[in-house]
Amino acid sequence: MTGAEASTGLDMLRGAQLATARLNARGGVLGRRVELVAGDDRADPATGAKVARRLVRSGVNAVIGPFNSAVGLQTLPIYRAAGLPILRLTSATATEGFGVTTQPMVTQIAPVEQAELISVLHAHSVAVLYDPSTYTAAIASQLASALRAAGVSVPVEAVLDPTAGEGPVAQALQRTAAARPDVTYLAMYGPQAGAIAARMAATPRAYGRCFVDLAAQGPSFVSAAGAAASGCLSSGVPSDDQLPGGKPYTRAYRKRFNISPGTWGAFTYDSLNMLAAAVRRSDRWKGSKLRNVLQHTRGFRGVTGETTVLPASGNRADPPVVILDINPAGRYVVDHAWASFAGYF
C-alpha cells in the first residue's frame, strides 16, 4: 500500500473494505462483526515476511493476499504454518497449493496471450522483455517457450531489472530495436512497464506493436506510460464496469471512496465474500473444516463472475482473462478484435 505499486494495493484494500462494510451492515458473519486488518508489504518480500509474522501474532483469522508472487513465496508458507485460511492474489505457479484464489494463474494467462499474438496479431517475431520478479519471469518464460514451439521467432528474450540502472535497460532496448520485431511484449509491473512503453513510443516502428502483460494492468501503468498507454494492448481482467457484477460494484465503490475502482479491488471484494460464505457453511471462523470448505468452493457468484475452486491447486477454474485496449481517457476496455476471435461478447 506504499511504494511503486501502491495504487494496486490501495484498490485491493478498498475492495475488502467495501465487502467488510456490507457484511457488517447485515449483522456480520455468525453473529460476529468482521474486522479488517491491513498489512503493507510494499511489494517487497522481506517486508512482507515481517508483516506476515506480525499479523499471525496479532491473531488474525484469515488472510487475503498478497498480490506480488515474490512476496507470496515468503509469506504464504508463514500463513499456512499458522493454519490460516488463505485467499491469495498471486499468479505464479510456485504459489499454487497455498489456499485458494479468485485470480488467474500463469498457466491460464499465457495461453490467452499466445492466442492473441499468433491468431489475432499474426505476429511472426516477438521480443520478450521482463522484470526478474517471480511472476513476470515465469509468464515471460512460459510464453516465449510456447511461441517458439508454435514457430514464432523470439529474437530477444531479455531481463530488464529495474534495480540495475540505465545501462542494461538501454542495451536491451537497443537489441530489441535492432531486431525489428512485429510485437514487443513487456512482462513487468505498472511503473516500469509504463516507462518502457513511453520510451518505445518515441520510435514505434523499431519495436512493433506494444503488448503488456496483466502484471502491469492499472493506473500506475497508465500514469507512467502517458500518451503511449493507448498504443498498447494488454492482457488482463475486465475493468470494473465490464465485469459480470461490475456496475453495482462500481456505483458502491464510487459512493464510498469518491473515486473509480482500479483493477484488483473487485477480486479482494469477492475473496472476502467467498470467505464469509465458507465460514457460514462450516459454522466456524477457523480450523481445518473451514479451510476444507473454502478449498471445495463451487459456483460462488461474485462481482468477477462465478468461482469454482480446483481443490488440488486452489486455483480458480476459468478465471476472466481477456485482451484489453486502453482508451485515451486511460480506461481499460475489452479489445474488439480479440473479443470477436474469442466469442467473448
Q: Encode pLDDT of 259-270 as tens digits.
A: 999 999 999 999
Whether residues 56 and 11 share a domain: the answer is yes
Q: Are 70 and 133 in contact (CB under 8 A)?
A: yes
Q: Is the pLDDT reported for residue 235 higher than 90?
A: yes
Percent of the chain at pLDDT > 70 equals: 100
Domain with 139, as residue range(s), is 106-236+321-342
What is the DSSP track for 206-224? HH-EEEE-GGGTTHHHHHH
Whether residues 192 and 336 share a domain: the answer is yes
Q: Is the pLDDT reported for residue 130 higher than 90?
A: yes
The verdict on residue 182 lying in a domain is: yes
Q: What does residue 207 show for φ and ψ, rounded to 5 degrees?
A: -110, -10
The pLDDT assigned to 162 comes to 86
Whether residues 73 and 174 share a domain: the answer is no
Whether residues 338 and 305 share a domain: the answer is no
Whether residues 280 and 338 share a domain: the answer is no
pLDDT band at 37 (very low <50, low <70, confident <90, very high): very high
Whether residues 128 and 232 share a domain: the answer is yes
The verdict on residue 1 lying in a domain is: no
The pLDDT assigned to 169 comes to 93
Write out pLDDT tens, residues 164-192.
889 999 999 999 999 999 999 999 999 99
The pLDDT assigned to 236 comes to 96
The verdict on residue 248 lying in a domain is: yes
Write out pLDDT tens, residues 64-108.
999 999 999 999 999 999 999 999 999 999 999 999 999 999 999
The verdict on residue 166 lying in a domain is: yes
The verdict on residue 257 lying in a domain is: yes
Q: Is the pLDDT reported for residue 149 higher than 90?
A: yes
Percent of the chain at pLDDT > 90 equals: 95
Total domains in the fold of the chain: 2
Burial class (CB in 10 A: 0-12, 13-18, 19+), 205: exposed
- Among 32, 8, 34, CA closest to 21: 34
Average of per-residue pLDDT values in the chain: 96
Write out pLDDT tens, residues 285-333.
999 999 999 999 999 999 999 999 999 999 999 999 999 999 999 999 9
Q: Is the pLDDT reported for residue 345 higher than 90?
A: no
The verdict on residue 178 lying in a domain is: yes
pLDDT band at 232 (very low <50, low <70, confident <90, very high): very high
Alpha-helical (H) ranges within the chain are 6-25, 45-58, 69-81, 106-115, 134-149, 166-179, 190-201, 204-207, 219-225, 246-257, 265-282, 288-295, 336-342
- Among 149, 128, 148, CA closest to 138: 128
Burial class (CB in 10 A: 0-12, 13-18, 19+), 35: exposed
Q: Is the pLDDT reported for residue 126 higher than 80?
A: yes
Whether residues 251 and 283 share a domain: the answer is yes
Whether residues 39 and 113 share a domain: the answer is no
The pLDDT assigned to 163 comes to 85
Whether residues 11 and 48 share a domain: the answer is yes
Whether residues 179 and 216 share a domain: the answer is yes
Between residues 344 and 57, which one has the greater pLDDT? 57
Whether residues 99 and 185 share a domain: the answer is no
In this prediction the pTM is: 0.93
* CATH code of the domain covering residue 182: 3.40.50.2300
Whether residues 44 and 144 share a domain: the answer is no
Q: Are 29 and 51 in contact (CB under 8 A)?
A: no
- Among 338, 315, 333, CA closest to 101: 315
